[in-house]
Amino acid sequence: MFDRTFHIHTIGCQMNVYDADLMANALMAMGYRPVADPEAADLAIVNTCAIREKAEQKVYSLLGRLAGIKRRRPEMRLAVGGCVAQLAGRRIQRRAPYVDLVFGTRAIERLPGLVRRLEAGEGPLSDVGDGDGVMEIDGPRHAVLQPTVSRFVTIMQGCDNFCTYCVVPYARGREMSRDPGRIVAEVEVLVAAGAREVTLLGQNVNSYGNKEGLCSFAELLTRVAAVEGLARIRFTTSHPKDLSPALIDAFARLDKLCDHIHLPVQSGSDRILARMNRRYGRQTYLDLVARLRAVRPQIAITSDIIVGFPGETEEDFNQTLDLVQAVGFDGLFAFHYSDRPGTPASRLTPKVPMAVKRRRLDALNELQNAAALARHQALVGRTVEVLVEGASKRSDPGRPGDDDRVQWTGRTSSNKVVNFSLPSSADAPSPEAGQLHRVRIEAAFAHSLLGVWAPDPAGLKGEACHAA
């Protein structure tokens, strides 16, 4: 069946990973098979991200490397998709004329037709037009690009929030939600293929279904939780302004919903939040955190923070540090601000000097790393439940400083990475990907935990695991 090959290099967020999966499935239905090495590909796709300037720079750096392959193998077709493609269009081909195809975020469903045109000798081609409503790719789902244990499912596309720093509404269009029946059916297919955990994706999952009059996000979670064989549900990203009482209540009543929420705050200063057009204030955010912890005390809360937004003073930044200490985040994705072309924030002044942005980012990371390490150290000696994902990267005895006993990796319900080994006395079968296992934590680091499998003859019904 497969007589042609493709390679997809994905840059950016989980939604890009999901989009790459859709591309792969469409290509496999055409008779292509995936290869890990672009040198062996008949079609190479760069799936791009435009959220931060550095991600966009990576695109052109990668295209420069692929140009060498193209010179050696001119029959290879080179395509650029994703957010940079949507925003830049044919400008990419003017800068990199060896690119055969540019296709935007809403053109994935048209990818098969575009590839057939390339096969027929047409090109260069560009398609950055809008789609006809919410994007759906029909046909079989092949488990090719993502691990089968944990899979992504996009439930909505685009964004209506127009935060002043963000290009997403311009790169992915206005917000549209998928039909809940199709979402549940997709989860069922993935679970039948071996998935034990799904992460529901949207730029603002909290507003799912509002425009179309579909079920609420909390109701969608209830329907997904009813899928037999599914062990865990995650979701990202939540916007604080739309975090409803019903969604908070879902953490109290849905056991499959993981002990984790990613709730981007972006700044601890009301003045900066207003400039960002976030439409909530510092106290509102703190109140939401308190309500989440009231219904599920063990919940882990992670967040995004932008440092050095235009006009941010030392007092604004100190308010961010104070909020980080007050919340006690389990993890942060922190970045210094960079102008994105076309966004309102790119026109705001005064700009914060790069040296100041770097100093503030270092201070924030130092504060958060110390807090995360302390939280992890509190778990040493406890037993936690881990969903096994597979072999640990730490299991390579050739890497300096690695413990060659460490063989497996997985995550707790609260999304903490746990690398673990078998006890020397263990005579039970080794863990397998997709299984839930008890692990006793023996060491803690800022970004991961280290432990030993603690098999229980009674399974997970014996001694209760500590939440982690």
- Over 70: is that where the pLDDT of 462 sits? no
Please state the rounded mean pLDDT for residues 183-195: 93
Computed from CA positions of residues 294, 296, 300, 303, in that sequence, does the dihedral angle turn out positive or negative?
negative
**CA gap 82, 8 in Å, rounded:** 12
Q: Do you find a cis peptide bond into 237, omega within 30 degrees of 0?
A: yes
Residues 6+ apart with CB under 8 A from 336: 306, 307, 308, 354, 357, 358, 360, 361
- Write out pLDDT tens, residues 41-82: 999 999 988 877 777 788 888 999 999 999 999 999 999 999
Arithmetic mean of pLDDT, 330-355: 96
What's the token pair of residue 201? 């994706």
Q: Which of 159, 165, 233, 161 has its CA nearest to residue 203?
A: 159
Domain 383-461: which CATH number of 1.25.10.10, 2.40.50.140, 3.30.450.20, 3.90.76.10: 2.40.50.140
Burial environment of residue 121 by CB neighbours within 10 A (0 to 12, 13 to 18, 19 or more) = exposed
Q: Helix, strand, coil: what percent of the chain each, to 5?
A: 35, 20, 40
Q: Which fold has domain 146-258?
A: Transcription Regulator spoIIAA (3.30.750)
Q: Name beta bridge partners: 438.
A: 385
- Tell me, what's the pLDDT at 463? 34
List where CATH 2.40.50.140 sits in the chain. 383-461
State how far Cα 34 lies from the chain centre.
22
- Give the model's pLDDT for residue 145: 54
Nearest partner of 468 among 387, 358, 401, 397, judged by Cα:
387
pLDDT of residue 406: 65
- The identity of residue 337, as a single letter, is Y
Q: 236 has which bridge partners?
A: 201
Is the model more confident about 390 or about 424?
Answer: 390
What count of other Cβ atoms lies within 10 Å of the Cβ of residue 35?
A: 16
DSSP string, 262-299: E---B-S-HHHHHHTT----HHHHHHHHHHHHHH-TT-
The whole-angstrom separation of Cα 212 and Cα 380 is: 47
Which residue pairs, CB below 8 angstroms and at least 24 apart, start in 363-370? 363/321, 364/305, 364/307, 364/320, 364/321, 364/324, 364/332, 364/334, 365/332, 365/334, 367/321, 367/324, 367/325, 368/324, 368/329, 368/331, 368/332, 368/334, 369/446
Mean pLDDT value of segment 175-197: 94
User: 394 falls in which pLDDT band (50, 70, 90)?
Assistant: low
Provide CATH 3.30.750.210 ranges for the chain.
Answer: 146-258
221-248 average pLDDT score? 97
Residues 389 and 366: their CA atoms lie apart, in Å, by 29
The pLDDT of residue 399 is: 41
pLDDT digits (tens, 9 = 90+) for 395-437: 544 444 445 556 899 999 999 999 999 876 656 667 889 999 9
- Asked if residues 372 and 398 have their Cβ atoms less than 8 Å apart, the reply is no
Cis ω for the linkage preceding 423 (within 30 of 0): no
Three-class SS of residue 34? strand
Residue ranges matching CATH 3.30.750.200 in the chain: 260-377
468: its two tokens: 């982690």
Residue 461 confidence class, pLDDT cut points 50, 70, 90: very low
Q: How many residues does the chain have?
A: 468
Q: In this model, does residue 144 exceed pLDDT 60?
A: no
CATH 3.30.70.20 describes domain 260-377: no
Q: Which two tokens stand for residue 172?
A: 């992915």
* Res. 457: pLDDT tops 80: no
How far is residue 106's CA from residue 171's CA, in Å, rounded to a whole number? 9
Rounded Cα distance, 288 and 207, in Å: 16
Reply yes or no on whether the pLDDT at 348 is more than 60. Answer: yes
Q: Tell me the two tokens of residue 251.
A: 């953490």
From the candidate CATH numbers 2.60.120.260, 3.40.50.2300, 3.40.50.300, 1.10.3720.10, the one assigned to the domain spanning 4-127: 3.40.50.2300
**Cα–Cα distance between 455 and 428 in angstroms, integer?**
8
Mean pLDDT in residue range 15-39: 91
If we measure between CA atoms, which residue out of 7, 55, 10, 49 comes closest to residue 27? 7
